[in-house]
Structure formats: structure tokens, C-alpha cells
Structure 1
């Protein structure tokens, strides 16, 4: 038992130290799994921005990994669930958040997934960050900053248990594994805010986004909820993404 605990500690230290050495002077984004099960975080840059490392990892319960983002980096993070990967090839699949069947993400992903978005060093002054439910929901997520004056973004409610029947995502065994967004589930312009519904003056909350917002007021729930549900922090801050925050009694490592 002692060796298992020490082994976990040294793995945590190794992951953190290695990332620090490779990413000095960059924004540190710590991935922290407090879920009572293994998850596989993944991340993708926005167009024109570089990928950070391999784009994915495995995190057992209570493990962390630090990812370092360069100045002005923009992109998204999310957690994948119930994955099976070949330990040599790094290929496989996940029930939610799958990224083209690869451990390291290099293309689009499959919803539903609770997304964390960053726009770092915006105008060299502020970092923007938010948690978005526009691709649906699969895990509770919280984002905190090293700057204690900055806000906490996230969705710490169990939306899977409150998901409307028409939005439930099922696995091949008939088990509910996530909650789709109405845009993903129906593809209608009204929910995706496209064509005649495009624009802040034409895109409005819908019955589903209102339900999501009541459960997760600190998350974006429809397309033009946009950065109104984002938090700003002084450029140069570091961040922690905690998966399943309600499973942990502490706010950060």
C-alpha cells in the first residue's frame, strides 16, 4: 500500500517536473483528476495556434499533469471517459469526447464533452477563459486561477442526471454516457444560431440552454452566450482545470 502511494506521488512529481522544464516562462495549465475513475484529458489549439505536446494523456484518480501554453495561445481542453487505448500504438476509442481514435488529439472530437476554452494574453493584457456546454456535457469541470482575484468558471452540477430524454447520449450497450447540446442533437439553425438565427440580436436562449444555465450559471450554454459567460484574468496567471470538482474537498492542489 505504501509503495502504491509513493508510486502515485512520484508519477505526479515526474509529470509536473517534466512539463515545467519543457514549458518555462509559459502559462501553466494544470489538469487535475479528482474523479473516482480514470479520465483521458485532450486538448486542441484554435486555428493558427500550435498544439501543446501530444494533445492528450491518461489521468488516474488524484493524478495531475501540467501543460504549458505559449503566449497568446488559444484553444480548448476536455475530459474523455471510458477509453480503451493500445498502450503501444496509442490508438483506441472513448465513449465521450473521442478524438479520432487517438490518445493524442490532432483533429476534431466527438461530442458530448464539457469544454474549457482559453484565449491567453488577449491584447497582451488579459486572459479569457470559460467552460462551455455548446458541445454538450460529460463531466463536471471547474477552472480556477493562481490569481485569487479572478473568477471561477465551471459546471459542477451533474447534468447527466438532469438531461432531457431527447438529449441523452447512449453508448452501444444502451447506457447513458452524456448529455448532448440541442445543436448537436437536432442540428437546427435555431439551436445552432446559424443562417437567419445568426447574430447576438437573433440568437436567444432556448428551453434547453435555460435548463443548463439554471444548473451551471458559470458556463456558456448557447452560441451567443459567448464570452458573456467568460472570466477575465491578468495575463501571466496560471490555471487549474479540475475534473469532478464535487468529488474533492479542496479547491486546488
Structure 2
């Protein structure tokens, strides 16, 4: 199937940047079977957040940004015109999140953009609702250790997710897996005490997604700092 190529986010970002064009380019590709809806906090000015299946979009980021991007799944509008989603919902009833906090679980993509340096990570610290990959095109690590690596989480946590951390929709279908910190509110899992060590659940998550951070104190792999990449490809439901 031919992919839809959309530039519908490009012009809004130029307007938000007051005519100053950024050199930090993100691309979003949805290889999932259903439409996804982007969200972010702080807002990245995503005025058209829906990303239909087999769609590839180009997005110019601001030169300075620090925050999280995620996708919402299973979204719909009810008879009262209230917009809501099965995962990642922002609770405001409209399609645009406007920098609000989401309902968990979500797969977080955390970025710090300080052009020309971009830091990036895939985080499961608030669970998982989506398979994802971040792939810099070109660039080198700021510490000089080599090229900017790809990071991803491309396996479902459903096989290791404890039953009481499973997130289901109104039809009791699996839609994601919560983190133990969010699910249990226990300092053992939230690193509120002295030190911060992996727990038995986060270890299982890490076994499936070794390039993602799985608990609040997780720093392996490190959060990469990349300089000089041509773009950052963000793929949802990437091929193996």
C-alpha cells in the first residue's frame, strides 16, 4: 500500500516559530493498523494530531523544546461531541491536547531540543501503549563515542505484564500495560527512598525492550545526546 505523505504540520509550525525555520526535523510514520493521535507536554503546537495508518508526516520542531510526546489510541467522539481515547487521553474532550497530562499507560518519547543538540529516549516509566522507534539520520554523539544510535521498544509487554497492571478498554480488551509505580503507588517501585534500583517487574520489561528506560532511576542505556542529525524518524509499530 502506498503511504500518504502529509506536510500539513509543516506550515503551522512555521507560523508558531514566527517565521524562523528550525533545523530540527522530526518525521512521524504510522505503520499500525489504526489511526493514532499525537499528544505532547508541553505542547509542540500539533494542530492536526491525527495520524492515519500508513501515513508519513514531516514536522519542524522549535529550536528549543524539553518535554514528552506520546500517541493516543482508540479515540472517538461521542454524541455530545466529546473526544476521548482508550489510552493517553488528555481529559479535555477535544482532539488537541494543549500540553495537558495524559492518563496512563503511555509509551513516552522524551526529547530535549537545544539546536543543534537533541537528547532523546524511549521511556516505559509510565507503562506502554504503543510500539515505537526513534532513529536519528546521521549525526554523532556529543561525547564523541560514535554515531547517534536508534532506540526503540518493539515488543508488547502483555506477556510479562502482571494482571493487576493490565489496562483494558470498555470491552475488556488489552490496550496497554501500566508501570508498577503508577499502578501500585509503592515507594519500592517509585524510587522515593534512598537509592533507586530495578525491581522484578521492570527487569521483565527491560528484557523485552532493552533500549527503553523501564523504571524512574533507569539510566541504561544513557539518554543519548546527538549533534548534526539530518532528521529524527519516529515510527509507530515499526517492522522488526
Name the TM-score, length of structure 2 as normaliser: 0.84
Matched, 1:115 2:113: no
Secondary structure at the counterpart of residue 223 of structure 1: coil
Distance 1:141-1:186 versus aligned 2 partners, 3 A rule: same
Q: What is aligned with 2:75?
A: 83
The Cα offsets for residues 160-195 of structure 1, whole Å up to 9 and x where unpaired, read as: 34322222112222222110000011011111111x
Q: What is aligned with 1:142?
A: 133
More helix by share: 1
Secondary structure at the counterpart of residue 86 of structure 2: strand
Secondary structure at the counterpart of residue 128 of structure 2: coil
* Structure 2: gaps spanning 5 or more residues: 140-146
- Structure 2 CA distance for aligned equivalents of residues 125 and 227 of structure 1: 24
Q: What is aligned with 1:157?
A: 155
Secondary structure at the counterpart of residue 206 of structure 2: helix
Matches within 5 A, 1:38-187: 38-45=35-42, 51-54=43-46, 57-85=49-77, 91-100=82-91, 101-106=93-98, 107-121=100-114, 126-147=117-138, 149-187=147-185
- Structure 2 CA distance for aligned equivalents of residues 86 and 31 of structure 1: 27
Distance 1:125-1:240 versus aligned 2 partners, 3 A rule: closer
* Structure 1: gaps spanning 5 or more residues: 46-50, 248-253
CA contact (8 A) 1:43 1:75 kept: yes
Q: What is aligned with 1:220?
A: 213
Distance 1:235-1:129 versus aligned 2 partners, 3 A rule: same
Secondary structure at the counterpart of residue 22 of structure 2: coil
Name the TM-score, length of structure 1 as normaliser: 0.80
Distance 1:218-1:204 versus aligned 2 partners, 3 A rule: same
> How many pairs are equivalent?
227
